[in-house]
């Protein structure tokens, strides 16, 4: 079975490792706190907005049904609990003579109900983003423990260091999305599955079942059951699958899911409808029924393997991970199957679900590339002659890639464009002018949702007819290749017609282009090579000619 990887919950981190890991976590915390307020108040992810609204609704109404099932309910519930504590403290402070909120306060319940997503965006989003940071740091800890158990202390520290400074990991630790917490619970399942494989204790089954239930109640990722079910088989043969320990662990996973997502049962009809819409299968049963091998291998599989992966963690890690895979097979082929069962299955599933695979879908299995790639480089470095030099060079070059890439996600990419455009618009466009915007794939009226209250009902979609009906003074529009190749092409047909109408059609008689914001040339080239849906990304501001004629000069001129 190779070197022992035994361990339990009580010795996951030894006293000897505590100090070194603490230093890495402090560095990781500093990197993730920096620029945490990016894009607030000018922009927020629609995913962030959905989670905030669902949690705030529970706090304000007392209705435990989130009415939002695109993700699991567990993140919504712990966010609602956090809001209840923090907002309750803010509402109670004036009654205690603490001038934190100000003004008269009736009951705490009335005060909480008056909190709105528009004027409290930074508080609400900031709390969610900070919890993402904690989960992100937690994934560094679990990845350290996994690498140390499999390879040794050196691999643990290098893997943790790479994750600490990796821009892709930093970014998803800074946004209030469920993907980083999903990765945390997923890594725990893998860790306790290794424990099942090595020791087979009932405690390992219970902890693995608990973590698997939380994975499923975070983002319905039922594939995480693979390592949990494979561990007893690889340990004892097929009879291990029918052990009473497996039944108890599986029962616990199911109960945790039901308890943390109760309305998946109590409101099953809405739950099932939203889940199928989220998976983009509508009335079809599973993605494999519409499986297109040519499309899969040409546009999805190779696209991610050769373009997406190297962009996020660097090509050196992926090349070295092939050598790490060889070392793991030679060490223990059963352990190899157990460790890679989930990431391989998850990759094929996500690549098969959609033409457009968002980068956050790839987060769960990137940890395994780092763990394998780190050992591949370390093994070379421990060798003699030229291989030792090659291993050291690969380690240094990988670290340089991460450090040099830190500036890309926020400052030079699309989010930097959003930030720049938002500040200009908020500064230059008069607040009393009617605005219709499509700033981030979600049309709304008024200036941005966290910065200004909406002056009209939110539009479902933008089109030429909608613009003529609203007759706004300003239009704020986002454009990129993603609108021409979305998951549901019909959704943006009216919007694409609107862009053609403005740029090339009769719309030029009614509106003129005031300002255009684009990616920096280097990032635009990189986006086109790596993530082609971002080709042509730009934000344009249009002014109605009559509104412009009433002023001496257009804004920002």
Highest mean pLDDT among 215-224, 304-313, 537-546: 215-224
* pLDDT reading at 63 higher than 70: yes
CA–CA dist 69, 57 (Å, integer): 14
The distance of Cα 481 from the centroid of its chain, to the nearest Å, equals 21
Residues 124-139 have pLDDT tens digits of 788 889 999 999 999 9
Residues 491-546 have pLDDT tens digits of 677 788 888 999 998 888 889 999 999 887 766 766 665 556 667 788 899 998 87
Q: Shortest CA distance to 181 belongs to which of 435, 318, 363, 412?
A: 363
Q: Shortest CA distance to 70 belongs to which of 40, 100, 50?
A: 50
For the residues 227-244, what does the mean pLDDT come to? 91
CA–CA dist 325, 404 (Å, integer): 27
Structure tokens, 54: 């669902």
* pLDDT reading at 82 higher than 70: yes
Among 146-155, 234-243, 519-528, the minimum mean pLDDT is found in 519-528
pLDDT of residue 255: 96
* pLDDT reading at 99 higher than 80: no
* pLDDT reading at 122 higher than 50: yes
Count of beta carbons in the 10 Å neighbourhood of residue 59:
21
Selected residue with higher pLDDT from 414 and 211: 211
Q: Rounded to two decimals, what is the model's pTM?
A: 0.80
Please give the mean pLDDT across all residues of the chain: 77
Please give the radius of gyration of the chain, using alpha carbons only, rounded to the nearest integer: 25
For the residues 285-291, what does the mean pLDDT come to? 41
pLDDT of residue 448: 43
For the residues 153-175, what does the mean pLDDT come to? 88
CA–CA dist 241, 106 (Å, integer): 59
Among 170-174, 435-439, 493-497, the minimum mean pLDDT is found in 435-439
Q: What percent of the chain has pLDDT over 70?
A: 70
For the residues 464-479, what does the mean pLDDT come to? 83
């Amino acid at each position: 079975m190779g070197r022992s990887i035994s361990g339990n919950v009580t010795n996951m981190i030894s006293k000897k490792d505590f100090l070194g890991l603490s230093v890495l976590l402090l560095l990781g915390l500093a990197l993730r706190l920096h620029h945490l307020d990016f894009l607030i108040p000018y922009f927020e992810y629609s995913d962030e907005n959905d989670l905030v609204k669902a949690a705030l609704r529970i706090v304000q109404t007392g209705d435990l049904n989130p009415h939002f099932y695109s993700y699991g309910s567990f993140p919504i519930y712990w966010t609602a609990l956090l809001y209840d504590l923090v907002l309750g403290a803010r509402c109670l402070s004036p009654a205690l003579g603490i001038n934190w909120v100000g003004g008269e306060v009736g009951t705490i319940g009335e005060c909480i109900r008056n909190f709105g997503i528009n004027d409290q965006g930074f508080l609400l989003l900031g709390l969610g983003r900070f919890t993402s940071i904690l989960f992100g740091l937690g994934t560094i800890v679990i990845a350290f423990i996994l690498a140390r158990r499999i390879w040794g202390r050196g691999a643990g520290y290098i893997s943790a260091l790479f994750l600490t400074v990796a821009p892709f990991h930093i970014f998803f630790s800074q946004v209030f999305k469920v993907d980083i917490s999903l990765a945390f619970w997923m890594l725990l399942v893998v860790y306790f599955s290794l424990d099942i494989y090595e020791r087979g204790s009932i405690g390992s089954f219970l902890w693995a079942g608990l973590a698997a239930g939380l994975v499923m109640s975070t983002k319905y990722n039922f594939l995480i059951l693979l390592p949990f079910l494979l561990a007893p088989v690889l340990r004892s043969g097929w009879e291990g699958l029918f052990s009473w320990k497996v039944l108890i662990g599986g029962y616990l996973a199911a109960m945790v899911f039901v308890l943390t997502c109760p309305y998946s049962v109590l409101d099953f009809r809405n739950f099932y409808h939203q889940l199928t819409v989220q998976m983009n299968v509508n009335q079809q049963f599973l993605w494999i029924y519409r499986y297109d091998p040519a499309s899969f291998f040409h546009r999805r599989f190779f696209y991610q393997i050769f373009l997406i992966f190297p962009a996020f963690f660097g090509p050196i890690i992926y090349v070295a991970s092939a050598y790490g895979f060889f070392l793991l097979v030679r060490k223990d082929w059963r352990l190899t199957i157990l460790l890679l069962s989930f990431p391989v299955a998850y990759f094929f599933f996500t690549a098969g679900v959609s033409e457009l695979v968002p980068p956050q879908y790839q987060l769960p299995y990137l940890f395994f590339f780092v763990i394998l790639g780190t050992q591949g480089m370390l093994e070379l470095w421990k060798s003699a002659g030229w291989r030792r030099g090659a291993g050291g060079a690969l380690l240094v070059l990988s670290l340089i890639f991460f450090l040099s890439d830190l500036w890309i996600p926020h400052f030079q990419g699309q989010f930097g464009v959003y930030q720049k455009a938002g500040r200009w618009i908020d500064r230059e466009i008069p607040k009393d002018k009617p605005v219709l915007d499509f700033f981030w794939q979600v049309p709304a009226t008024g200036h941005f949702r966290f910065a200004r209250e909406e002056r009209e009902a939110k539009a479902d979609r933008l089109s030429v007819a909608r613009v003529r009906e609203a007759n706004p003074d300003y239009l704020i529009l986002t454009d990129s290749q993603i609108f021409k190749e979305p998951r549901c092409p019909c959704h943006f047909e009216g919007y694409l017609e609107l862009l053609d109408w403005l740029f090339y059609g009769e719309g030029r008689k009614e509106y003129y282009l005031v300002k255009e914001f684009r990616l920096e040339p280097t990032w635009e080239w990189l986006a086109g090579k790596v993530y082609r849906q971002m080709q042509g990304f730009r934000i344009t501001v249009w002014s109605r000619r009559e509104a412009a004629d009433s002023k001496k000069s257009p804004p920002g001129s």
